[in-house]
Structure 1
Amino acid sequence: MLDDAGLQALREAARLSPDNLPLRQHLAGQLLAKGYLGEAEAEYRAALVLAPKDAGIMAGLAEAFVRQSAFGAALAALEPLLAAPGYPPKVGVLAARALLGEGDTARAGYRYHEAISRDPSVGDADLAARLSAPPAPPYGAPAPAASPYGAPAPPGQPYAAPAPPAGQAYAAPAPTPVDGATAEIERSRLNFADVAGMEAVKESLRVKLLLPIQQPDLFAAYGKRAGGGVLLYGPPGAGKTHLARAAAGELGASFVNVGLADILDMYIGSSERNLRATFELARRNRPCVLFFDEVDALAARRSDMRQAHTRQLVNQFLAELDGVDQNANEGVLVLAATNAPWYVDVAFRRPGRLDQPVFVPPPDPAARAAILRLLCRDKPLAEMDFDAVARVTDHFVGADLKGVVDRAVEVKLQQSISAGRPIPLSTPDLLAAAQSVRPTAVREWMATARNYVMHSNDSGAWDELMPWVKGKW
Structure 2
Amino acid sequence: MTDDSRETDLKKLIEERKKKLLSGKTIPTKITPGAGRGMGASAGAANFGEANKSNAELEPQSAQDTPPQQAHSIEHPEDARAMRPQAHSIKLDLSPNPVDARTYYRRGNQFYEKNDFEKAIENYNMAIILNPYFSEAYFNRGLSYYQIKNFDKSISDYTKSSELDPRNPVIYNNRGDTYYSKQDFEAAIVDYNKALNLNPKYMKAYYNRGLAYACLQDYERAIEDFTKVTELNPTFAEAYHLRGLAYEYINQYDKAIADYDKAIELNPSYDEAKRHKEIAVSKKQSGYITTPDYGAPGGAPMANTTGGDPNMQNQGINAVKLLQKPTVNFKDVAGMDKLKEEIRESIVYPLMKPDLARAYGKLAGGGIMLYGPPGCGKTFIMKAAAGECSSSFINAKISDVLDMYVGNTEKNIHNIFETGRKNLPCILFFDELEGLGGRREDMGGSQQYMKLAVNQLLYEMDGVEANNESLLVVGATNAPWDVDPALRRSGRFGKTIYVPEPNTKSRRDILALHSKKRPLAPGVNFTRISKATIGYSSSDLKAVVEDAASIPWRDAFKSGKQRKVTTGDYIKAIKKRKSTLPPWYAQAKKQIGQQEEKSIIDGKEHIKVTDSKLALAEKEAFKELLDIIKYRNKVWYQIYAWLMRVLYLYLPIPI
Q: What is the TM-score of this pair, normalised by structure 1?
A: 0.60
Name 1:415's counterpart in structure 2: 555
- Write out aligned runs for 1:105-144 (5 A): none
Judge conservation of contact 1:368–1:390 (CA < 8 Å) in 2: yes
SS, match of residue 379 in structure 1: coil
- Write out aligned runs for 1:41-440 (5 A): 180-187=317-324, 188-307=326-445, 308-325=448-465, 328-382=467-521, 383-417=523-557, 423-440=563-580
SS, match of residue 621 in structure 2: coil
Larger Rg: 2
SS, match of residue 472 in structure 1: helix
For residues 60-108 of structure 1, the C-alpha deviation after alignment (integer angstroms, 9 at most, x for no partner) is: x9xxxxxx99xxx9xxxxxxxxxxxxxxxxxxxxxxxxxxxxxxxxxxx
Alignment partners' CA distance in 1, 2:343 and 2:318:
26
Q: 2:342 is aligned with what amino acid?
A: S
Number of residue equivalences: 308
The alpha-carbon deviation at position 450 of structure 1 amounts to 2.0
The alpha-carbon deviation at position 346 of structure 1 amounts to 0.5
For residues 186-227 of structure 1, the C-alpha deviation after alignment (integer angstroms, 9 at most, x for no partner) is: 243321122223222222211111111212232121132212
The alpha-carbon deviation at position 295 of structure 1 amounts to 0.8
Tell me which moved more, 451-460 or 298-307. 451-460
Alignment partners' CA distance in 2, 1:318 and 1:388:
48
Shift of the 204–48 alpha-carbon distance from structure 1 to 2, 3 Å rule, reads farther
Alignment partners' CA distance in 2, 1:337 and 1:462:
14
For residues 209-248 of structure 1, the C-alpha deviation after alignment (integer angstroms, 9 at most, x for no partner) is: 1111212232121132212221111111111112122112
SS, match of residue 486 in structure 2: helix
The alpha-carbon deviation at position 51 of structure 1 amounts to 11
The alpha-carbon deviation at position 323 of structure 1 amounts to 4.7
The alpha-carbon deviation at position 322 of structure 1 amounts to 1.4
Shift of the 254–420 alpha-carbon distance from structure 1 to 2, 3 Å rule, reads farther
Alignment partners' CA distance in 2, 1:228 and 1:421:
57
Alignment partners' CA distance in 1, 2:470 and 2:496:
20
The alpha-carbon deviation at position 305 of structure 1 amounts to 0.9
Judge conservation of contact 2:371–2:477 (CA < 8 Å) in 1: yes
Alignment partners' CA distance in 2, 1:415 and 1:51:
61
SS, match of residue 377 in structure 1: coil
The alpha-carbon deviation at position 422 of structure 1 amounts to 5.2
Alignment partners' CA distance in 2, 1:433 and 1:48:
55
SS, match of residue 512 in structure 2: helix
Judge conservation of contact 2:320–2:415 (CA < 8 Å) in 1: no
Judge conservation of contact 2:339–2:499 (CA < 8 Å) in 1: yes
Q: What is the TM-score of this pair, normalised by structure 2?
A: 0.44
Judge conservation of contact 2:443–2:451 (CA < 8 Å) in 1: yes
- Write out aligned runs for 1:452-467 (5 A): 452-454=592-594, 455-456=611-612, 458-459=616-617, 460-467=620-627
SS, match of residue 470 in structure 1: helix
Judge conservation of contact 1:181–1:278 (CA < 8 Å) in 2: no
SS, match of residue 579 in structure 2: coil
SS, match of residue 353 in structure 1: coil
Name 1:165's counterpart in structure 2: none
Alignment partners' CA distance in 2, 1:418 and 1:46:
62
Shift of the 364–324 alpha-carbon distance from structure 1 to 2, 3 Å rule, reads same
The two structures, once aligned, show a CA RMSD in angstroms of: 3.0
Judge conservation of contact 2:427–2:473 (CA < 8 Å) in 1: yes
Q: 1:391 is aligned with what amino acid?
A: K
Structure 2: gaps (5+ residues): 1-287, 298-303, 305-309, 595-610, 634-655
SS, match of residue 218 in structure 1: helix
For residues 371-404 of structure 1, the C-alpha deviation after alignment (integer angstroms, 9 at most, x for no partner) is: 1011112222222211101111122101111111
Name 1:447's counterpart in structure 2: 586
Alignment partners' CA distance in 2, 1:272 and 1:374:
40
Judge conservation of contact 1:231–1:354 (CA < 8 Å) in 2: yes
Q: 1:195 is aligned with what amino acid?
A: V
For residues 158-212 of structure 1, the C-alpha deviation after alignment (integer angstroms, 9 at most, x for no partner) is: xxxxxxxxxxxxxxxxxxxxx9442311243321122223222222211111111
Larger RCO (alpha carbons 8 Å, 6+ apart): 1
Alignment partners' CA distance in 2, 1:47 and 1:429:
59
- Write out aligned runs for 1:19-58 (5 A): none
